[in-house]
Amino acid sequence: MAGLELLSDQGYRVDGRRAGELRKIQARMGVFAQADGSAYIEQGNTKALAVVYGPHEGMGQGWTQGSQLKGARGRHMQDRERKTGGFVLEIRGSRARALPDRALVNCQYSSATFSTGERKRRPHGDRKSCEMGLQLRQTFEAAILTQLHPRSQIDIYVQVLQADGGTYAACVNAATLAVLDAGIPMRDFVCACSAGFVDGTALADLSHVEEAAGGPQLALALLPASGQIALLEMDARLHEDHLERVLEAAAQAARDVHTLLDRVVRQHVREASILLGD
């Protein structure tokens, strides 16, 4: 796209932000009464909703993405998925999937058909959703204290309502708030942000325009108090001399996200505490 400057000479990006500036974040916890925990987050125009159920009894095979299962059983599951619109019933009590010493974390990512510019035809079960689900699961298995709940299962469902770049980050942030809302013990917050590299400068919190431009982009999920990385993901080519700078930009942005989420959680806890009375 000739003529579209991702970073102007004065240091302004396409939407007027500076290189290390985040988009406006608004978040709310406890949006669904029926779930154990839920949260909604808006990062600029990216909107994500996360719902957490658990810890509860381990469930057997039944709730999976169609492409994960192979063979005749897989085909049967896929038919059921199509007929029921993608929701397969869970079978309780199957010991096959429950782990004896810790909790099983099960994440599912779904993006609404109206979330992108062009209407998506397949909200769940496609390769990208599977991969996101797996990444979310890795991220949260690192943060949730699973040893405290053996043989149970924690389900995290994330849905993206509007995708304008940084969907992984928004999902992680929303899921963190939802897990906190459910009262599931975690080591620390998990704060995530994306970062890119343009013209020798590292940009934090990429929007869709910046992601689509094709430069290298990195997604980082951080545990802010200890500075430990829960997940770092990049599939682009970046010279290793630049990695340090981009990583630092993403880490700083994640810490800024933490400041905001921390404020939201404290406000929510304070409000609930006041209502309950002393």
Of 68 and 228, nearer to another protein (C-beta) is 228
Of 68 and 273, nearer to another protein (C-beta) is 273
Determine phi and psi for 18, rounding to 5 degrees.
-85, 175
Q: Does 11 bind another protein (CB under 8 A)?
A: no
Of 11 and 183, nearer to another protein (C-beta) is 183
Considering only residues 36 to 95 of the shown chain, the ones binding another protein according to CB under 8 A are 36-37, 54-57, 92-93
Determine phi and psi for 259, rounding to 5 degrees.
-55, -45
Of 140 and 197, nearer to another protein (C-beta) is 140
CA distance 218 to 245: 12
What is the per-residue DSSP string for 74-140?
A: HHHHHHHHHHTTT-----BT-TTS--SSSPEEEEEEEE-TTSSSSPPS-SSSSHHHHHHHHHHHHHH
Dihedral of the alpha carbons of 123, 127, 130, 132, in degrees to the nearest 10: -90
Least distance (Å) between residue 49 CB and another protein: 17
- What residues does 50 pair with on adjacent strands? 39, 158
Q: Does 33 bind another protein (CB under 8 A)?
A: yes
Q: Does 225 bind another protein (CB under 8 A)?
A: yes
Least distance (Å) between residue 17 CB and another protein: 27
Q: Does 145 bind another protein (CB under 8 A)?
A: yes
Q: Does 224 bind another protein (CB under 8 A)?
A: yes
Q: Does 149 bind another protein (CB under 8 A)?
A: yes
Considering only residues 176 to 215 of the shown chain, the ones binding another protein according to CB under 8 A are 180-189
Of 200 and 277, nearer to another protein (C-beta) is 277
Angle at the Cα of 41 (from 35 to 45), degrees rounded to 5? Answer: 140
Peptide bond between residue 123 and the one before it cis (omega within 30 degrees of 0)? no
Q: Does 226 bind another protein (CB under 8 A)?
A: yes
Containing H/E element for 154? Answer: strand 152-162
CA distance 267 to 259: 12
- Contact between 163 and 118 under an 8 Å Cβ cutoff? The reply is no
Of 94 and 116, nearer to another protein (C-beta) is 94
Least distance (Å) between residue 262 CB and another protein: 6
Query: What residues line the site for another protein (CB under 8 A)?
Result: 33, 36-37, 54-57, 92-93, 145, 149, 151-152, 180-189, 223-226, 262, 265-266, 268-278
